[in-house]
Amino acid sequence: MKTHIIHIIVGTVLMILCAVVAAFLPPLWQGVSGRDFRPQSAMMGILILLLAAVLRVWRRWPVVEFLGSVVCAELFTLCVIAHFSGFTWLELFDSFNLSWLGTMSVFIAVPWLTGLLVGTLLLSARQRVSNDHAAVRSSQPP
């Protein structure tokens, strides 16, 4: 249980770091205005997708840890949105904040879950190939 909680916290912090890194990388395209966040958010989404795929394939994290991390990251995002909108307590769930959360979820939750799916497919393909090689080796005479 302790390992799951640590992985959930690490996953959440790594997603936040992906957002910070994406803010400093050159944008994929020029935004419409200075307030257009989509180029940096698209880069953040790409980084989050790659992170999720690597954690699933290389570290073999369970699905529960991915789901816990994305829930924590979404709650953190909602708190950041509320901080900038000035809403507090129950106003946190105002339609304005939830609208922005939905928009940001496209760049956070969707890439994270897509990376989980891609990582799971790569992991199962890798295990299938490994099992095939083991079966071939065991069927060969010494």
118: CB partners within 8 A, 6+ apart:
49, 52, 53, 56
At 19 the pLDDT is 94
Residue 142's CB is within 10 A of a number of other CB atoms, namely: 2
Number of C-beta neighbours around residue 49 at 10 A = 21
- Specify the pLDDT at position 14: 97
Q: 26-30: which pairs have CB atoms within 8 A and are 24 or more residues apart?
A: none
pLDDT at 8: 97
Residue the block writes with tokens 């989509």? 38
Residue 103 confidence (pLDDT): 94
Segments of the chain scoring below 50 in pLDDT: none
Amino acid found at 7: H
pLDDT at residue 64, as a whole number: 95
pTM: 0.87
The reported pLDDT for the residue numbered 138 is: 76
Residue 112 has a pLDDT of 97
> What is the pLDDT at residue 142?
66
